Structure 1
Amino acid sequence: MASPLSRFFSGVGVKRLSQVEVAPDASNQHEFNGINEFRSIFGSEKRKFETKFIFLSDDEDKLLEANGFMTWYDARENHPTRTEFRLYYSSNEVLASANSNDLVVVGKTGADQLAVIVAPQNSTSEKQLLWLFGMEEAANKFMVRDLTGDKRDMGFAGRYILSSLGMEQDETAPDFLDELLYKFGKVFPTTKEFSAYARSTVKYVSPVEEPDETLMAWLEREELLFKTLEKVIVKDQLVKGFGPDGTDVEEFIKLSLSIQNRRKARAGFSFENNIAILFSLNRVHYSHGAVTERNNKPDFVFPGIRYYHEAGFNPELLTMLGLKTTAKDRWRQVLSEAAKIPNKHLITLEPSISRNQTEEMKANNLQLVIPAPLFGTYSAEQQKGLMSLRGFIDLVNGRQNHYSATPLLF
């Protein structure tokens, strides 16, 4: 089933914030400038919108959300010939935290609902928003797009970015529900079990000839099947209620947090499980989660931890690979792992990482590995420095040709 952007936004406007729009010492107007193009989406009548304000950051601890409102009106409504439309926003922590030249997106998400998303200039979040809405760059006036007729599938990258905005797609696979319930019941199985089942339902993939495309097909199918089973299990919990009288707020919050944590943990373990299977099918020798110096545990060491700790083994034939479903600022964590290997590799599912970040990775001798279907979210210049999963497998297999090793099964 196609997942078009129009399921979430009927129209958007994108621009860069000016000093007068966000700096309290410069102005208290609480209005956006360069807004005339919004008439094609908002019309000419005065309207008030419930609004969710979101501040994105590459540092996950600095994400902000606030609820408020926005008002669209003509300041010269009573003038016979002139119009002067304005877009007023209520005071909120998100825009109070914004800076001049940060990116702002105003998106219509419902009949009387808006989302205002702010991302710092030159951040990965900014680059992802520009990619999502099909824009190379933004100016000081709103560039407005009507999305009502957009039926194109956003793909994995689009759903990934929307998820970071808290906009999860309510998509399930009802054709698999009976089999899921027969196999697992209304209980979450281990991620390894579930990954194996999900892989078994994906046909017409080639783990050896096309590992990148195979990985993405496996991950997308597993996500879809997990949400199918999760919906049934969570619905039962909602029907039962929370606490003795069914209305215990703290119990409800605990359930909500457990759902979020389970989704994040499952995504990470699924990534690891499927990557490990692909390595095995491609006859790659590796150790998974083995200990190096200072009790560090790189995700993968090639050809294996035994060789890593062997004093006489040529260190140039060693390789390490870190995994991060989301990179943002977390990619630096892999730099301290596997000290004997100065040139690190990191595979991530993060689309459209900023140029600043990819340049910094390069400066720190970190090679970014991206599944080939996500290359298109990066600029042409950035793509020259990316390595596909196919390329990484070829690299480690090439190094294996320089030594004799028995298969290592960890």
Structure 2
Amino acid sequence: MNVRICMKRLAAVEIDPSLSNQHEFNAGRLRQELELAGNPCKGRIDFLFYLGDDEAPVTETERYTLYDARLNKPRAAEWRMYYTNVGISEHARPDDLMLLFRPDRSSNDLVAVIARHGTEIERALSLDLAGREPEELVGMFFADSEGLNPRTINVLLQVLRRPVPQVALEEYDFAQHPLLLGAVSRGTMPTTAEMAAAAQSIVADTGVTPEDPDDFIDSSLAAETALFKAIELELGNRKLAAIPDDDRLNFDVLQGFFMTFLQSRRARRGQSLENHFRYLLNALRIPHSYQCRTEGGKTPDFIFPSCESYHDPTFPDDRLRMVGCKTKVRERHAQWLDEATRIPVKYALCVDDRLTDPLVLRYQNRLRFFLPRGLLDSIYTKRRIHPLLGSVAQLVAAVAH
């Protein structure tokens, strides 16, 4: 993620309807820095209000209009941003820190993160972006997001989620993908690493990025599955057609034929989630070690911040994290619980739509499960265990600290 971010403290006249009915910001420099064109320029603002360090953020969506208040007048232009005042007046307070940025260059829609004055979130944003304590941040300040540390990235990325472009995936011509053509030419299935890389490239073409962790994992798995099925279908049809006419298609012949493809499916699915999560961590620059060897020769999927930290007795236990990946949990939870003994609470990333209440409740103090947001919303919203489950974005935030 690399965007230009405006930082400013909110003034009472900008948020309190009893003091001003204009609901405006002076926006001349803002227009220039965020490269907003048009007169007027209109769009949406997605607000994320951090009202306390231990509270979930409150979200609101409003509209804005950026215009020249002196249009057709002899004096120089005076750019102002007018916004609807429903959410901001209810949640924001004078001196709160606001970050305003444009996440997508193809749209005039904006994102605003507002952190309550005096919170640790406000201090983290001020230090990471401006390199100064909150009290030193006055006026309007602009910063480039490139090089942000993971803590700040994860504050920002929670409002950057966009719906998964399912139509784009459905319309993708998997039959013409270079990986499929190469597999047909060789007569063999691609490796799991090749499949993962191809899926990530396809997902990038649809507009989903690692800054949307839940959508990225969901879309990557969907793209890889669709591409795999396209390759499998083409290879299967060709191999089936190549069986000599004089061979009897008895049970043994058919069983051997299909077992070859079933084994390929199992091998790929077992590593695909790991591959995509690893790519996500690297893209977000979150330090980690993959397949770190711990006690008794065990190798957890991911250790944070590093394998070296895990084996350093002076490194605090409470700063270590472990994540195990498995599409379907089944009995894997017993293995996770037995890995990385320095870490009392393990994390598990899965896409399992059959997690049982007894399993999650039984291990709630030892093993926490994380799933893509779409799966959480569609399967677990009304379940008793829903409060104990987390999204991929929440997992990313947890391992980044």
TM-score tier after normalising by the smaller chain length: 0.5 to 0.7
Instruction: Choose the corresponding residue for 2:388, options 368, 378, 385.
Output: 385
Shift of residue 305, structure 1, vs aligned partner: 0.9
**Change over 3 Å in CA distance of 1:175–1:356 after alignment to 2:** same
User: What is the distance in 1 between the residues matched to 2:246 and 2:292?
Assistant: 46
Letter in 2 for 1:348: C
User: Structure 1 stretches (4+) deviating beyond 6 angstroms?
Assistant: 171-174
Aligned to 1:182: 181
Aligned to 2:302: 300
Shift of residue 255, structure 1, vs aligned partner: 2.2
Instruction: Choose the corresponding residue for 1:397, options 371, 375, 400.
Output: 400
**Change over 3 Å in CA distance of 1:173–1:331 after alignment to 2:** farther
1:89-125: per-residue Cα shift (whole Å, max 9, x none)?
xxxxxxxxxxxxxxxxxxxxxxxxxxxxxxxxxxxxx
**Change over 3 Å in CA distance of 1:335–1:350 after alignment to 2:** same
Instruction: Choose the corresponding residue for 1:223, options 197, 222, 225.
Output: 225
Shift of residue 210, structure 1, vs aligned partner: 1.2
Shift of residue 208, structure 1, vs aligned partner: 3.9
Q: Is the CA contact (8 Å cut-off) linking 2:353 and 2:375 kept in structure 1?
A: yes
1:39-77: per-residue Cα shift (whole Å, max 9, x none)?
xxxxxxxxxxxxxxxxxxxxxxxxxxxxxxxxxxxxxxx
TM-score (norm 1): 0.52
Identity %, equivalent residues? 27
User: What is the distance in 2 between the residues matched to 1:304 and 1:252?
Assistant: 47
Aligned to 2:196: 195
Aligned to 1:258: 260
Aligned to 2:339: 337
User: What is the distance in 2 between the residues matched to 1:322 and 1:266?
Assistant: 17
Shift of residue 359, structure 1, vs aligned partner: 0.6
User: What is the distance in 2 between the residues matched to 1:384 and 1:222?
Assistant: 30
Query: Rg: which structure is higher?
Result: 2
- Bigger shift: 212-221 or 257-266? 257-266
User: What is the distance in 2 between the residues matched to 1:294 and 1:271?
Assistant: 25
TM-score (norm 2): 0.53
Runs of 5+ unmatched residues, structure 1: 1-155, 157-170, 399-410
User: What is the distance in 1 between the residues matched to 2:314 and 2:207?
Assistant: 40
**Change over 3 Å in CA distance of 1:172–1:243 after alignment to 2:** farther
Shift of residue 248, structure 1, vs aligned partner: 5.1
Shift of residue 242, structure 1, vs aligned partner: 7.3
Letter in 2 for 1:179: H
SS of 1:346's equivalent in the other structure is strand
Q: How does 1:352-371 map to 2 (within 5 A)?
A: 352-363=354-365, 365-371=366-372
SS of 2:325's equivalent in the other structure is strand
CA RMSD after TM alignment: 2.4
Shift of residue 247, structure 1, vs aligned partner: 2.9
Q: Which has the higher contact order (CA 8 A, sep 6+)?
A: 1
SS of 1:328's equivalent in the other structure is coil
Runs of 5+ unmatched residues, structure 2: 1-163
Q: How does 1:35-114 map to 2 (within 5 A)?
A: none
User: What is the distance in 2 between the residues matched to 1:265 and 1:346?
Assistant: 20
SS of 2:188's equivalent in the other structure is coil
Aligned length: 228
Aligned to 2:30: none
Shift of residue 352, structure 1, vs aligned partner: 4.2
Letter in 1 for 2:292: A
**Change over 3 Å in CA distance of 1:263–1:243 after alignment to 2:** farther
Q: Is the CA contact (8 Å cut-off) linking 1:324 and 1:331 kept in structure 2?
A: no
SS of 1:247's equivalent in the other structure is coil
Shift of residue 328, structure 1, vs aligned partner: 2.9
User: What is the distance in 2 between the residues matched to 1:369 and 1:388?
Assistant: 5
Shift of residue 207, structure 1, vs aligned partner: 3.4
